[in-house]
């Protein structure tokens, strides 16, 4: 069941609030459809925004990174972060340049990232990252060894303070521009998987797995 729309003062959408969504189920659907998140944090007064892969388990977002990363070097008890995910669904062409837009779905999560140190949770988090990107691949691959696990860090960000923003539909033009002689509408955009490309060193008798041949993103 979705939670009631109760945004915090920090996550309440100010610009175009009619596009705001504070429903947890909607936020989960957007997160589950994305591949890459951008993690913002500050180090010695300098802001950084790092793109990285992620996975979700219930109300926790897990972020994967190198143990030598800049963010992890400053981490002790946790670090304040802003995590964003954006999905682009279409280009909106209006009659005026000013009213051009995009159809999109986005999520912003504010919280504290903490290092996952429990070995079982860490392995489960890494599995969730793998399955988030390509379901079925984890069981079909060699699991990480101890050295690889030591070289990899996983951060946990609770999905507690969040908001989403969604735009759909046609362009919104000013009344005085409605008769301007140009095409107006939406150019839909979507991600499509191509045919799998075999590794040149692969056994030629080994066919691509079904999850690669029929890959699709909801």
Domain spans of the chain, in order of start? 17-173+192-213
Distance separating alpha carbons of residues 183 and 190, to the nearest angstrom: 21
> Considering the entire predicted model, what is its pTM?
0.88
* Phi and psi angles of residue 123, each rounded to the nearest 5 degrees, phi first: -65, -40
Provide the pLDDT for residue 76: 55
What single-letter DSSP state applies at residue 206? P
Quickly state the pLDDT bin for 125 (edges 50, 70, 90). very high
* Phi and psi angles of residue 154, each rounded to the nearest 5 degrees, phi first: -125, 130
What does DSSP say about strands 46-57 and 20-21: parallel, antiparallel, or unpaired?
unpaired
Which residues pair with residue 53 across a beta bridge?
Answer: 36
Span 134-145, mean pLDDT?
94
Provide the pLDDT for residue 1: 37
Joined together, the tokens standing for residue 109 give 């999560």
Helix (H, G, I), strand (E, B) or coil at 121: helix
- Say which CATH class 17-173+192-213 falls into: mainly beta
Query: Of the candidates 181, 171, 162, which has an alpha carbon nearest to the alpha carbon of residue 24?
Result: 162
For 42-136, where are the alpha helices, taking DSSP H only?
70-73, 119-133
Distance separating alpha carbons of residues 149 and 121, to the nearest angstrom: 12
Span 202-216, mean pLDDT?
92
Quickly state the pLDDT bin for 62 (edges 50, 70, 90). very high
Q: Check: CB of residue 105 under 8 Å from CB of residue 166.
A: yes
Which residues pair with residue 122 across a beta bridge?
Answer: none
């Amino acid at each position: 069941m979705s939670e009631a729309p109760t945004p915090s003062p920090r996550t309440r959408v100010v610009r175009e609030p009619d596009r705001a969504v504070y429903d947890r189920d909607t936020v989960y659907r957007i997160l589950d459809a994305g591949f890459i998140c951008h993690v913002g944090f500050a180090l010695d007064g300098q802001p950084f925004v790092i793109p990285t892969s992620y996975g979700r388990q219930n109300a926790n977002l897990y972020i994967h990174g190198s143990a030598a990363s800049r963010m992890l070097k400053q981490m002790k008890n946790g670090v304040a972060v802003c995590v964003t995910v954006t999905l682009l669904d279409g280009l909106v062409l209006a009659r005026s340049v000013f009213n051009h837009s995009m159809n999109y779905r986005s999520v912003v999560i504010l919280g504290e990232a903490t290092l996952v140190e429990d070995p079982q949770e860490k392995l489960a988090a890494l599995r969730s990252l793998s399955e988030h990107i390509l379901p079925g691949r984890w069981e079909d691959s060699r699991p990480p060894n101890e050295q690889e696990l030591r070289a990899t860090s996983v951060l946990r960000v609770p999905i507690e303070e969040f908001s989403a923003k969604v735009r759909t539909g046609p362009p919104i033009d000013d009344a005085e521009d409605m008769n301007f002689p140009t095409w107006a509408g939406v150019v839909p955009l979507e991600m499509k998987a191509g045919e799998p490309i075999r590794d040149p060193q692969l056994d030629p008798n080994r066919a691509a797995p079904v999850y690669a041949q029929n890959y699709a993103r909801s």
